[in-house]
Structure 1
Amino acid sequence: MDGFRRIPLSLRVPLLTAGLMVLLGVVASQQVLSTLGKVQDARIRELAQLQIEALSVALGPHVLRDDIWEIYDTLERAAGETKGRRMIFTVVADENGRVMAATDPVRAPLDSPISALTEGAQTAQTLSVTGDAVQVRLLAPLRYQGRTVGQIMTELDVADLISERLRAGQLLLLGNAVATGVLSILGYLAMRRMLMPIARLVRRMRETADAPEPIPESDLPRGDTEMTRLVKTYNAMTDAVEAKAETERRLAERERFVSLGRLSSSLAHEINNPLGGLLNAADTIRQYSDRPDVVRQSADILTRGLNHLRDVAQATLDQNRLDRSSAPLTFEDFEDLRLLIGPEVSRQEQKLRWQIGASGEALSTFASAPIRQILLNLLLNASAAAGAKGEVSLLVSEKPGVLCLIVEDSGDGLSDAARTRLLSDAPVPPGGGVGLRLVHDLVKELNGCIRSERADHITIVDVTVPLQQSGMPPPC
């Protein structure tokens, strides 16, 4: 069965059709032979009944008178008239079953019991020819004028009927075999032709698995059949696959340009934000050039800010991935952030709350560049959301195995587009800034998580990242 299932459908169905036709031919032949046998049995019963009735009419008076010689003479005449025909041997017995006369007295002596000769005998109503027998034995009551006066046992020759049955059976089997064979071949070829589109479709799908190609119109099945609709559906599918591939190519091309735009925007965003603080430090040096302590402090800020810009540029060159080999995060990085956003906070007369509650050991497990970029983007967005005379807060704390960075503002809260950029991986349309999406990507690379909520008119963005040496699983 498993081997048959491995045969292709285009070959399995024709073979099954041919097999069913052969089975149908065999069943039909058996039915015809059975019907022929029944017809012959009916014919034999009819002949036997006529034979018995004729003998009963001729022998009845002689049996009543117990005239043995007349009975014998009648049997002789009947046997002579049927010479070369059906009756071979006939015995007549009285009511007590004693033989009165027979066509062969040697086989049936006078006054012997007829029961010795009736083994295997049949009645006229159930007479039938079975097997290869060429003779049948019939036992029937001898009736005369409505009464039973004795018994008749006769043997009939049915060799011609058996021969006729065998000849008819042979001719029937030969004819059925030829017809079944021809019909099986025609059925096989017809089914193969009908299933050819499926075989062609399977072959085309196997040969063009990577880039399916439509089947030419010249190879489509004629008419509006299921096969035609199947092939047309396949052609429509190939067109859809080709259109989808073209769409994906165009989307990839568009995404490439969008990525380039995001890359340029990110680079400009990350360079432009610190420039205000750096220019402010340069102005401080120019104004207080006679104060060495102020000059040193401003020079340190310039150095760290320029190093940060170098890290950003290097990260951009490394396919927008941050340089993990940059300097570790320290308290000075937070002071730099405070100085960098200072001009923007002062310009809008905002209140800035700043609290760094983590240990230096915990901070040193992180590279400074990603944390600085995360906080710088969040603080700039918070300052823009808080507006004039608003409030902005940065709270950094250390919990078991994690570092918590919380940025708060008194603005109206994040818009749906901003929440999508910050909290989800869903694609966003180009434009509208890249700061929040960059924060999302950086936190994800650090195995951290971001939560945003609004309470008491305050928008809270909570960034939690695991300490590098803690071995803790991601907090989200």
Structure 2
Amino acid sequence: MLKRLQDMPLSFRVPLIASAMMVLVGVVASQQVLSSLSSVQEARLQELARLHVDGLAVALGPSVLRRDVWEVFDTLDRATAAGSGQRMVLTVVADEAGRVIAASDPLRAPVDSDVGPLADGAQTIDAIRLSGTEDHIRVAAPLDYQGRNVGLIISELNVADLVAERWKAGLYLLAGNAVATLVLAFGGYLAMRRMLKPVARLAGHMGRMEGTLEPIPASDVPKGDTELARLFQTYNAMSDAVHAKAEAERRLAERERFVSLGRLSSSLAHEINNPLGGLLNAADTIHTYADRPEVVRQSAELMQRGLGHLRDVTRAILDQNRLDRAGQPLRPEDFEDLRLLFEPEVHSRNQALDWQVGAAASALECQAAAPVRQVTLNLLLNAGAAAGMNGKVGLTVANDGNGLSISVTNTGAAMSDGDLARLMDSGPLPPGGGVGLRLVHDIVAGLGGTIGHERAEGQTRIRVDLPAQGGPHA
């Protein structure tokens, strides 16, 4: 029942709960009204019965002592004719032994019969109670005369009108409560629908966005400084913050891409400068010994190798920074490009490079090339900087179930707490340091992957596990 109530719309649930509470209040109030009515009716009956019995006691005392049947009957008949007969339908007078002396209806209580059957179930005057189902009640009272108990008076009262009055009052209360509950429930439903209309508008706006947050137009924001207005304003502020964060992340990614390129520029300049020197020497040799075919051939082969190296370096730089690579699948050639870009860093520090790319092409093509290249290059650059002179840097790329595992190791010092916070956490960036490690964290999180850190035997290992992104054109 509770589960079904929770599944109902709020515009139905609140009026229904309010109606149930109103019904409960109506039932309690009706019981109080009926209880008060019963108390008034019973007090009236007690007063009537006491006056009747007291009057009979004064008039019947001597006759009961003499056991004068006709005098007792005459007194009862006159008392009935005086006006109490409509309520007192039967009055029986018995002596101390419980034998009937006279009754207003001799057929129901013959003279000298036992009064016990009539006395059974009779109430005392001070304890008269209306059950609500019986039209007649019997009341028993002692007959006292001059301070002495000389007999018993039993009266039967017709309370059909009082019972009918109680039923009528109950029906009026029931009908009034039902009408009031229905009217107020319908009014509550309309009020809740009106109050929740802005919430429905907000939910519909969010449902149409398909994963993107768009501000709600000012014309749709509720007027006034209400809770709903503040909710809409908070949503718009959150939407603006999300857009600002996305724009900042985009600019951060672009900046980090060019920062990575800048870190490689000096080493790449050396890689380009050496082939250029050789090419100039080869061109000068050809110019000087143009009449010697074997020298020209050797110089031409040297120029061809140098130009090929320049072509590879240039292509690797372009592939790393080309915007049109977005959405392209990862290939083994992408890691060869990264090696070509990173090797000048290794050579400048006289480091040892352990390069192991063992993942199958089918596993690579289920990943997007641009983010994976960016993650790998950033980790390699940080590992190279941490390893220092004569250190060791390693890269291992392998299949991991249906996904891809990338491990980068170095023999440098352990990572600082600030660097670990940038790489592993999503909180605010600690002061100092760059943004490359946080960019790695954000890209991996966006791809649904995980990052692990391990420091053992003087070596730091960063492992990135990426799930398959859906197919060759992920």
Q: TM-score, normalised by structure 1?
A: 0.64
Give how far 1:421 is off.
7.0
Q: Distance in 1 between matches of 2:250 and 2:343?
A: 36
- Residue aligning to 1:9: 10
Give the drift of 1:86.
Answer: 0.7
Equivalence for 1:414: none
Aligned counterparts of 2:208 and 2:460: Cα–Cα separation in 1: 52
Query: What CA distance in whole angstroms lies between the structure 1 residues aligned with 2:250 and 2:341?
Result: 33
Deviation of the 1:443 alpha carbon: 3.8
Q: Distance in 2 between matches of 1:55 and 1:80?
A: 14
Deviation of the 1:123 alpha carbon: 1.6
Structure 1 residue 193 corresponds to structure 2 residue 194: yes
Could you tell me which amino acid in structure 1 is paired with residue 159 of structure 2? V
Q: 1:377 aligns with which of 345, 348, 351?
A: 345
Q: What one-letter code is carried by the residue in structure 2 that aligns with 1:85?
A: Q
Distance 2:51 2:279 in 1: 136
The reply on whether 1:451 has 2:419 as its aligned counterpart is: no
String of CA shifts for 1:265-306, please: whole Å, max 9, x gaps: 886554234434665777899999999999999887665544
> Does the aligned pair in 1 maintain the 2:267–2:345 contact within 8 Å?
no
Structure 1 counterpart of 2:156:
155
SS at match of 2:144: strand
Give the structure 2 partner of residue 86 of structure 1: 87
1:224 Cα deviation from its structure 2 partner: 3.4
Deviation of 1:92 after TM superposition, in Å, equals 0.6
Task: Indicate how the Cα distance of structure 1 residues 68 and 174 shifts in structure 2: closer, same or farther if over 3 A, else same.
Answer: same
In structure 1, C-alpha distance between the alignment counterparts of 2:149 and 2:200, rounded to whole Å: 78
Q: Secondary structure at the match of 1:125?
A: helix
2:371 maps to what in 1?
none
Does the CA-based 8 Å contact 1:134-1:159 persist in structure 2?
A: yes
Which residue in 1 is equivalent to 2:167? 166
Report what 2:42 is aligned to. 41
Once the two structures are TM-superposed, the CA of residue 192 in structure 1 deviates from its matched residue by: 2.9
Q: Is the 8 A contact 2:100 2:115 kept in 1?
A: yes
Runs of at least 5 residues in structure 1 that lack an aligned partner in the other structure = 327-365, 383-392, 402-418, 427-435, 455-460, 465-476
2:423 matches 1:422: no
1:195 Cα deviation from its structure 2 partner: 2.8
Letter in 2 for 1:229: R
The structural deviation recorded for 1:106 is: 1.9
Q: Against the structure 1 CA distance between its residues 425 and 91, is the aligned structure 2 distance closer, same or farther, given a 3 Å change threshold?
A: farther
Match of 2:424 in 1: none
Aligned-partner Cα distance in 1 for 2:384–2:44 = 93
Determine if contact 1:267/1:313 at 8 Å carries over to the other structure. Answer: no
1:133 aligned partner: 134
- Name the structure 1 match of 2:450: none
Tell me the distance in 2 between the aligned counterparts of 1:27 and 1:153: 37
Render the CA deviation track for 1:222-244: whole Å, top value 9, x for unaligned. 54333332232223223323433
Give the drift of 1:184: 2.3
* 8 Å Cα contact 2:355/2:396 also seen in 1: no
AA aligned to 2:245 is K
Q: Which moved more, 1:27-36 or 1:68-77?
A: 27-36
The CA deviation at 1:99 is: 0.8
Change (3 A) 1:316 1:212: closer
Report the Cα distance in structure 2 between the residues aligned to 1:169 and 1:395, rounded to whole angstroms.
98
Whole-angstrom CA distance in 1 between matches of 2:14 and 2:384: 51
In structure 2, distance between residues paired with 1:87 and 1:198: 68
Contact 1:10–1:199 (CA under 8 A) maintained in structure 2: no
Q: Which moved more, 1:295-304 or 1:209-218?
A: 295-304
For the residues of structure 2 that align with 1:425 and 1:139, how far apart are their CA atoms?
112
Contact between 1:315 and 1:323, CA under 8 Å: does it hold in 2?
no
CA distance in 2, matches of 1:96, 1:258: 122
TM-aligned CA distance change 1:150 to 1:15, over 3 Å? same
The amino acid of 1:166's aligned partner reads: W
C-alpha contact 1:79 1:87 (8 A) present in aligned 2:
yes
CA distance in 2, matches of 1:193, 1:145: 78
Other-structure match for 1:340: none
Which one has a bigger Cα radius of gyration? 1
Root-mean-square deviation over aligned CA pairs: 4.7
Matches within 5 A, 1:342-353: none
Distance (whole Å) between structure 1 residues aligned to residue 409 and residue 267 of structure 2:
20
Unaligned runs of 5+ in 2: 359-377, 399-405, 414-457, 462-474
Give the 3 Å change call, closer, same or farther, for CA 422–222 of structure 1 in structure 2.
closer
**Paired AA for residue 207 in structure 1:** R
How far apart are 1:260 and its partner, in Å? Answer: 7.9
How far apart, in 2, do the equivalents of 1:253 and 1:75 lie?
115
Per-residue deviation at 1:452? 3.8
Query: Residue 31 of structure 2 corresponds to which residue in structure 1?
Result: 30
CA–CA separation in structure 2 for the residues paired with 1:201 and 1:104:
81
Query: Which position in structure 2 is the counterpart of 1:405?
Result: none
Query: 2:18 and 2:7 mapped to 1: Cα distance?
Result: 17
Residue type of the alignment partner of 1:197: P
Give the secondary-structure state (helix, strand or coil) at the position aligned to 1:148: strand
Q: Which residue of 2 aligns with 1:350?
A: none
Per the TM alignment, residue 27 of structure 1 is displaced from its structure 2 partner at its CA by 3.1
Measure, in 2, the Cα distance between the counterparts of 1:130 and 1:197: 54
Report the CA distance between 1:152 and its aligned residue: 0.8
Give the CA deviation at 1:214: 3.6
Shift of 1:257: 6.5
State the shift of 1:144 in Å.
2.0
Cα shift at 1:256: 7.1
Aligned-partner Cα distance in 2 for 1:424–1:145: 121
Distance 1:293 1:448 in 2: 49
Q: Please name the residue that 2:99 is paired with.
A: 98
Find the aligned partners of 1:396 and 1:132 in 2 and give their Cα distance.
102
Contact 2:264 2:341 in 1 (8 A): no
CA distance in 2, matches of 1:133, 1:302: 125
Query: What residue identity is the alignment partner of 1:182?
Result: V
Match of 2:381, as an amino acid? L
